[in-house]
Amino acid sequence: MGKIVYTCPYVPAEWVAAHGLVPSRVMVRTAGTSPAVGPKEGVCPYVRGFVDEVMSRNDVSGIVMTTVCDQMRRAFDIVVGRSKLPAFLMNVPNTWRSVAAQRLYVDELRRLSRFLVGLGGSAVSNGELAKVMLDYDTARSSLLAKRELMSGRQFAEMVAAFNMDGPGAVSANVAGCSAAPRGVPLAAVGGPMMAEDLDMFDVIEESGGRIVLDATESGERGICQRFDRRSIGDDPVTELAEAYFGGIQDASRRPNSGLYQWLKQHFEERGVRGVVLHRYVWCDMWHAELARLREWTDLPVLDVGVTGDCEADKHRAANQIGAFLEMLQ
C-alpha cells in the first residue's frame, strides 16, 4: 500500500487511511542541509529538514503539504520542482470563524481525496471512514491516558510513532510505561519539534523539571480533539473536519485566541509553573507569540530559539534550562 507523508497536524490521518493508503505524519529528524532550499539564512530549520527528508525517501507514494505557514507553502514549490513524487498542497485556512472557511477545509479534503484516488487509493465510504476514525480515536485516548506515566521524551516519541505508523504503534508501546519523573511542572509550547530537539526534554528532567504539558505541534496540541462518537455514524466527514480544523489550536490561526484559551485550560488543569517556548529561528509565527505569551501569563516563560545547529543549540538550551529551573525550584 502506498505511503503518504505529511507533517501538518491539519491533515487527518483517518482521511488518508480510509482511502486504503498509509498515512505517515513524519517527525523530521534533523534540520536539513540540502542546497535545494536555498540559503540557510531566513529559512525555518524545520521546513528545511522536512524538504530534505521527504526528498530523500524512496518508500513514499505521495506528499501532502499545507498552506498553514508561508514557508511551508513556498517549500512546496521546491518539492514540486526537485522531486518526481506526486505532491499535493492543501489549502488550510488561517481564519476559522466563518462558515466559508470551514466549508473550504471540507472542500479541500474532497480535493485531497481525488489526489489520493489518483495515487491508487479507493474512493472513501462513510462506513470505512467511521471505522477508521473509531480506531484512531481509541488509540489516541489510550495514548493520552498514559501520558502521566511517561517522561517528556517518551510521550513525544509515542505521539510521533502514532503519527508515523498509526494506531498499531500505540497499543504495542503504551503497555510498557510506568514511571514518570518528578519535578517542577512545566509546559513546552511551540511549533513542531524535530527528533533531535527532544533532547530538550531530557535536559529539563535532568535539571529538576517535568513536562506536564507538551503543547508543541508534535505533542498534545497537535492532536485533534476527541470525536463525538454519535456524530461519526451520521456524518463522519463533518465530524472529522470539526475535530481537526475546529479542534487544533495553532499560532497561525487568525485570530489565534483559541490557542490561548486552550493553553489557559491546560495550564490550570496540569498545575503548570513555568513555560518553555520552543521555536525555530526564522519562524515568524511562533517568534511573534513570545512577547504576547509573556504579557498574557503570569508564569515565567523561557525562550528556547533553535537554529538547527544541533550541538550549539543543545549547549545553549542546557544552560538556559538549568538557570530557569534553578529559579523555579
Partner 1 sequence: MTGVVRQISLDEWDRQYESLQRAGARRPGYVGPLGRHVQDGDRGLVRLRFDNSPAALRLWNFLLTEEDRLRQARTEGKKIVGAMKDLGTVPVMAYSLDNVVAFYPDGAWWIPCVMELSAGLLGIADSLGIDESFCPVRAMLGAFVTEAHFPIPDLLSCSVGATCDDFSAIAQRLNGLGYPIFWWEIPHRRSPEPGETAIELPGGFVAPQSQIEFVKSELQRVAAALEELAGQSLDEAKLAVGIERANQVRDCLAELRLLAFTAEVCPIPALEMLIAEMLTIHFCSDQNESLAVLQELLEEVKSRVAAGVGLLGPDAARIFWVNPVADLQVMNLLEECGARICGTEYLFSHALDKIPEDVPPLEALAQTALADPMVGSAADRARRICADIRRFGAEAVLVSRIPGASHCALEGEVIRQVVADELDIAVLEIEVPPLTDSMCPALMTRLQALVETVRERRKK
Q: Per-residue x/- mask for partner 1, residues 17 to 46, rule CB under 8 A?
A: --------------------xxx-xxx---
Q: Does 318 bind partner 1 (CB under 8 A)?
A: no
Rounded Cα gap, residues 184 and 115, in angstroms: 47
Conformational region of residue 271, where left means phi above 0, alpha means psi within -120 to 50, and beta covers everything else: left
Q: Decide whether 137 or 289 has the Cβ nearer to partner 1.
A: 289
Rounded Cα gap, residues 133 and 17, in angstroms: 9
Among 275, 264, 159, 277, residue whose Cα is nearest residue 212: 275
Distances in whole angstroms, Cα of residue 25 to Cα of each of 11, 22, 184, 234, 275: 9, 10, 31, 27, 26
Radius of gyration in angstroms for the set of CA atoms belonging to the chain, rounded to a whole number: 19
Q: Decide whether 113 or 216 has the Cβ nearer to ligand SF4.
A: 216
Least spacing, CB of residue 251 vs ligand SF4, in Å:
7
Give the interface size with ligand SF4 as a residue count (CB under 6 A): 12
CA atoms within 13 A on the CB side of 42: 6
User: C-alpha 41: how far from its chain's center?
Assistant: 24
Site for partner 1 in 138-157 (CB under 8 A): none
Q: Which residue spans within 68-181 are E strands per DSSP?
A: 87-90
Q: Which residues, other chains included, contact 37 with Cβ-Cβ below 8 Å and sequence gap of 6+?
A: 43, 47, 48, 51, 52, 75, 78
Q: Decide whether 128 or 284 has the Cβ nearer to ligand SF4.
A: 284
Q: Per-residue x/- mask for ligand SF4, residues 70 to 109, rule CB under 6 A?
A: -xx-------------------------------------
Q: How far apart are the first and last CA of the chain?
A: 51
Among 84, 93, 85, residue whose Cα is nearest residue 66: 93
| Site stretch for ligand SF4 (CB under 6 A), options 40-48, 99-107, 146-154, 304-312 | 40-48
The neighbour count for residue 238, using CB atoms within 10 Å, is 14
| Site stretch for partner 1 (CB under 8 A), options 99-107, 223-231, 242-250, 266-274 | 99-107
Among 285, 301, 321, 325, interactor with ligand SF4 by CB under 6 A: 285
Among 59, 268, 295, 298, interactor with partner 1 by CB under 8 A: 295
Q: Per-residue x/- mask for ligand SF4, residues 45 to 74, rule CB under 6 A?
A: -xx---------------------x-xx--
Interacting partner of 192 out of partner 1, ligand SF4, none (Cβ under 5 to 8 A depending on kind): ligand SF4
Site for ligand SF4 in 181-210 (CB under 6 A): 191-192
CA atoms within 13 A on the CB side of 177: 24
C-alpha cell at 206: 535532568
Backbone angles phi, psi at 301, to 5 degrees: -120, 125
Q: Give the residues lining the site for partner 1 (CB under 8 A).
A: 37-39, 41-43, 67, 69-71, 73-78, 81, 89, 91, 93-95, 98, 100-101, 104, 107, 111, 114, 251-252, 254-256, 281-285, 287-292, 294-296
Q: Give the residues lining the site for ligand SF4 (CB under 6 A).
A: 44, 46-47, 69, 71-72, 191-192, 280, 283, 285-286
